[in-house]
Amino acid sequence: MTPPSDDQAVPVPVRVVLPDGQEIVARLWARRQLPDGWRYQVGLPSYRNPQDGGVEAAEYRVWVRAPEHVRPVDGVSYDAVPTERLTPSAPVDEALEPRRPAGWVLLKQRGGRGPARTVVHAPDCEEAPPGVPVVDVHRALDAAQQPGARLCSLCGAAQELDPLLHGFDHITDDE
């Protein structure tokens, strides 16, 4: 089933268990069955700062695993929630998001004096040079640790490789 767009979906309340054990009421937008269990797309209440410097209500949407992180609200019907189920005849790959090609592409850039700087891209990135050999994750991480190297944020290299380079050191007890 194709979930409706945001303007068609009517979210319903659901309880979400936060990492510290707190439970809050959020909005359930969709649910999806995967081979290893169910995922629920929930909208968590939040705030954001618009450019005018004020504060406004916002919603942070995220897919979470059920039942560990999601609990029903008593008396609420979930029948109308857009639901994607695995069917016995459908291959598992149909339920998963499309995958990008494996590996990484290293683009050397010269900019004035000094050594060339490396930019790490996914092979299907529109800024990746054609015909350049694809390297494995270990070579990509080695290149990313060199002075002046950067990970492309357009193709997701930064989102995928940065946690491997830095772990979760950026998270403090204050957050």
Q: Is residue 174 part of a domain?
A: no
Q: Is residue 1 part of a domain?
A: no
Half-sphere exposure of 21 (CA within 13 A, CB side): 0
The helix (H) or strand (E) run that includes residue 26 is: strand 23-34
pLDDT (0 to 100) of residue 129: 83
Domain boundary among 89, 123, 151: 89
Tokens read off for 133: 């050999």
Say if residue 57 is in the same domain as residue 85.
yes
Say if residue 82 is in the same domain as residue 114.
no
Say if residue 71 is in the same domain as residue 132.
no
Q: Is residue 4 part of a domain?
A: no
**Which neighbouring-strand residues pair with 106?**
120
Please report, to the nearest 10 degrees, the dihedral formed by the alpha carbons of residues 25, 3, 98, 36 taken in order: 50
Please report, to the nearest 10 degrees, the dihedral formed by the alpha carbons of residues 166, 168, 173, 174 taken in order: 70
Question: For residue 149, what are the contacts with CB-CB under 8 A and spacing of at least 6?
Answer: 117, 118, 119, 120, 143
Cis peptide before 129 (omega within 30 of 0): no
Identify the domain containing residue 146 by its residue range: 105-166
pLDDT (0 to 100) of residue 28: 94
Say if residue 82 is in the same domain as residue 123.
no
Q: Is residue 152 part of a domain?
A: yes
Q: What is the domain count for the chain?
A: 2
* Residues of the chain under the 50 pLDDT cut: 1-6, 170-173, 175
Q: Is residue 6 part of a domain?
A: no
Q: pLDDT of 93-115, one tens digit each?
A: 555 556 678 889 998 877 667 67
Q: Which of 101, 134, 106 is nearest to 121 (CA)?
A: 106
Domain boundary among 89, 114, 144: 89
Say if residue 18 is in the same domain as residue 75.
yes
Domain boundary among 59, 89, 119: 89
